[in-house]
Amino acid sequence: MKKRVISLVLTIAMLLSVATVGVMSVSAADQDAAESAVDKVIYFTIPDFWIEKFGFVQGGSSTTVYCHVFQIGTADPDFKDFVWQTRNEKCTYDTATGKYQYPIGEKFPNLKDNADYGVIFSAKNTSGDAAQAQTYDLIMGTDCYGDEVYVVDKTYQNIVDSSQVTYLSYWKSSANAEKYGPHAGITSLGVLQGEKYAPHEDKVLAVANFIKDYSANIPTNEDPQVCITLCKSVGVEPYDVYVKYSTTYAEEIKAGSIPDLQTTAGYLGLSYPPHPPVTTNGGDVNGDGAVDVKDATTLQLVLAKLNDDSMAYDESQADFNTDGVVNVLDVTYIQLYAANLL
């Protein structure tokens, strides 16, 4: 009985939504035009603590606000970025709303829905002391159009230029705040900074790039080593970083302009040449509740056909490395596992 009531409600809701779509489609063309003019704008407000600290005037002629848009990840040849704090990056102040706005749809008509971008707002006094402040890299997608960026009183060093202090900023809409945030990046010293990777970004490549670009900053006698800690904080497997590095930068490695594979394996705490990580399953071959060296011994005897019927042997536990066959590799991996080497 209850089920029927629910489905009736759903049917009514569906009818209503169909009706609404029907009405909307009449003026769809008009709406599209209006949308591109009004909604493809992003908003910004100078935070009070910037006004106090730097002497900015919200909406005042002595202060200019700029919006810098950049690509994250794969370079799109259609993307043309503007020079920092130049005319095309200027925001306008709307006295009605008390907000700065940047016409992103007009300045960047070719941004793609399935690509990652970043945005930095900055404010500058154009008269007097020329004080300026800027936000830290904030990830942006085309679904951020119409949303507003706000600043919090928390700073990071600029990843590219460590002499610059930048303030963290976020999107106001909760959906955008969930998806996009202060961009996670690796500093030249191998420290993870920021909060999020962009939706289409390759985290494994980011760590590989750190090794390529900043090997001079990687001490080899530290424990735990920089790259191993970095893999953990970024959430990637050292082996995957090794593979990405070796395939992406094969030419540079061959030319000797960046660390060779043996050095890189060392940075990542891998043997050389490294083995792919093993997925393990089972292993309690003798069924005594633990996976230890006794299981390796049992499996060895079974494989050599030296076991007798009195010996406990559970075949379902024997393919320890999950490669589909039971053989001497499983003995080896159980031994490594028992010695805490896996």
Which one among 116, 321, 331, 335 touches Ca ion, defined by CB under 5 A? Answer: 321
CB neighbours of residue 312 within 10 Å: 11
Min dist CB 311 to Ca ion, Å, is 12
Residue 89 in contact with Ca ion, rule: CB under 5 A: no
Residue 64 in contact with Ca ion, rule: CB under 5 A: no
The pairing of strands 92-94 and 132-134 is unpaired
Site size toward Ca ion (CB under 5 A) is: 9
Task: Considering the complex, state which of residue 268 and residue 318 has its C-beta at the smaller distance from Ca ion.
Answer: 318
Task: Considering the complex, state which of residue 141 and residue 282 has its C-beta at the smaller distance from Ca ion.
Answer: 282
Min dist CB 334 to Ca ion, Å, is 9
Residue 330 in contact with Ca ion, rule: CB under 5 A: yes
Residue 240 in contact with Ca ion, rule: CB under 5 A: no
Q: Where are the beta strands (DSSP E) in the chain?
A: 42-44, 63-72, 92-94, 99-102, 116-125, 132-134, 138-140, 148-157, 165-171, 185-186, 192-193
Min dist CB 78 to Ca ion, Å, is 49
Residue 94 in contact with Ca ion, rule: CB under 5 A: no
Q: Per-residue x/- mask for Ca ion, residues 175 to 214, rule CB under 5 A?
A: ----------------------------------------
Give the integer Cα–Cα distance in Å for 309 and 326: 19
For residue 165, list its beta bridge partners: 157
Q: What are the Cα distances from residue 295, in Å, to 234, 298, 305, 321?
A: 35, 5, 15, 14
Residue 317 in contact with Ca ion, rule: CB under 5 A: no
- Residue 274 burial (C-beta neighbours within 10 Å; 0-12, 13-18, 19+): middle
Are the beta carbons of 147 and 43 closer than 8 angstroms?
A: yes
Residues 283-312 that bind Ca ion (CB under 5 A): 284, 286, 288, 290, 295
Q: What is the distance, to the nearest Å, from the Cα of residue 279 to the centroid of all Cα atoms in its chain?
A: 25
Would you tell me which residues interact with Ca ion (CB under 5 A)? 284, 286, 288, 290, 295, 319, 321, 323, 330
